[in-house]
Amino acid sequence: MRAVIRFGLRLFFPRLRLINGERLEQPGPAILVITHPRSLPAALLLISALDRRIHCLLPAEELRGTFGKLAAWALGMQTVDLNSEDQTAWLKPWLNVLANQEAIALFAEQLPQNGNSRAPVADFAARLSMEAILRGPEHPYPTIYPVHCFLPMGRRNAAPLMCTDSPITSQDFLPRVAEDLAAASQHLAEAVQYATGANIFGLPETELERFHQEMEGLSREYLREQWAGRPNWKQRPEDFELSTFARKWIANQNRTDPARLVELRESVTAHRGARSRLSMGNLMVETSGPWQGSGSQVAAAWFETVAGIPVAVYGLINHFPALIALRASGLLRHYPKRDPKVEWLWRIFIVLSSYTAQVFLVHFWWGRAVAGYYTLTLPVSGAYLWRYRWLVHRRIHLLVRKALNPVNSARIARQRENIIEMFSHALEHSTQSVAVPGSRPAGLAE
């Protein structure tokens, strides 16, 4: 059953790219400390990528339903509460797993609000290692492997990444003379906490600070629009900044789930790019000339835009063979090394040759009278096609930008609100603390 489930995982889930994966295939007992909070997706990807049997310890809320629990049992997954004080009762089965030289995977969870600076997974990994050492020298000493993850769950065609960091050998933390087991376990737990304290896929500090500024800017823009209709409102958006809790949440996400932070930052970058394009379009409209202020000229431009489409399309069809010949010969563009007069002579020759061939075909199929009328429409449609080309570059795109400006502004505002709502939702559902007061601008300072 395990082989069937692994085959299904490889077939329907993205292929995991495991960096330094050969370290996990080494024989001997191993404890994998995975720095990703969403333990079930990470466990499934890890099981599908490794040939070695991995016993994953997951929170109870991750496994739901009869089928899910049955599949988890077949894959060697078990539920565990690392915050529970009664760990001794279910510690023995996992010591037997290590005695059989198999691997156990532990997953990082949010830091508990009990004043302890270490994650519970670090303490449990250290205790499990020390208990395995105390069973005697006939049992191999377990090795702890910190595993960093980058799992872009919401991005298409993005391969999930895992990297196995340098192993921590528990033998190096054996109790010294006059040192008790608790002290040695504390030293090992601190080493595990240090190894998992920084994700190699995380954003650098400069990028994090820039992300803080971008989120503050979005929140201030939102507040500025909300308070625009309140002239007597005393608070100013410029007085607000990200709260300490929001900054800690961002730092924790950068350590445990940097892919989620990258996705949020990409949304902010896309919003900033859309806003810049809208501002550039508005500037182009404002500086296009005094004709934008004349209602009659704007109406005439719209009328010619709509009414001139059939004539422009007819001219494009008539000159399509000539355009293909000019493009194939490279005469559509001017090259400095060529004489401009020679270029224009060749262009005129190609266009007139195309006219002659087209008139001959019309005369052959429909007769002399139709060919005569068609000959007159060729230069007229060509001249208007050139005119419509000027209209597209100088008038039409400005008219369309101005007409779509309210729609684009509303779309950018919705995009900004979605980003703030996504950020606020993540803060409110974080297990590090209670929800931040306030609805939409959650995460802003007092």
> DSSP assignment of 194-233, as one string?
HHTSS-TTSPPHHHHHHHHHHHHHHHHHHHHHHTTT-TT-
Say whether pLDDT at 210 is over 70. Answer: yes
Q: How far apart are CA 19 and CA 161, in angstroms?
A: 8
pLDDT confidence bin for 9, thresholds 50/70/90: low
Which of residues 180 and 403 earns the better pLDDT score?
403
Question: CA-CA distances (angstroms) from residue 217 to 5, 212, 262, 263?
Answer: 46, 9, 18, 18
Look at residue 5 in the predicted model and tell me its pLDDT: 65
Residue-level pLDDT at 374: 92
**Are the CB atoms for 28 and 143 separated by under 8 Å?**
yes
Query: What's the CA gap between 86 and 156, in Å, rounded?
Result: 42
Identify the pLDDT of residue 440: 39
Distance CA 266, CA 256 (A): 18
Strands (E) located in 216-366: none
**303, 306, 307, 283: which is closest to 295 by C-alpha?**
303
Q: How far is residue 83's CA from residue 113's CA, in Å, rounded to a whole number?
A: 11
Average pLDDT over residues 305-330: 92
What lies within 8 Å, CB to CB, of 35 at 6+ separation is 108, 146, 147, 148, 149, 196, 199, 255, 256
Average pLDDT over residues 30-54: 82
**Cα 321 from Cα 360, distance rounded (Å):** 14
pLDDT at 234: 74
pLDDT bucket at 2, cuts 50 / 70 / 90: low
Name beta bridge partners: 34: 107, 147
pTM of the model: 0.73
For the chain, percent of residues with pLDDT exceeding 90: 27
CA 93 – CA 113 distance, rounded (Å): 29
Least confident of 118-122, 207-211, 373-377: 118-122
**Beta pairing, strands 168-169 & 143-150:** antiparallel
Confidence of residue 352 (pLDDT cuts 50, 70, 90): very high
H/E element holding 247?
helix 244-256
Greater confidence (59 vs 168) lies with: 168
- Three-state DSSP class for residue 168: strand
Residue 443 pLDDT level (bands cut at 50, 70, 90): very low
pLDDT, residue 315, reads 93
Mean pLDDT value across the chain: 82
Residue among 245, 254, 247 at smallest CA distance from 204: 254
Q: Which of 166, 33, 41 is nearest to 103 (CA)?
A: 33
What does the alpha-carbon distance between residue 429 and residue 434 come to, in Å, rounded to a whole number? 8
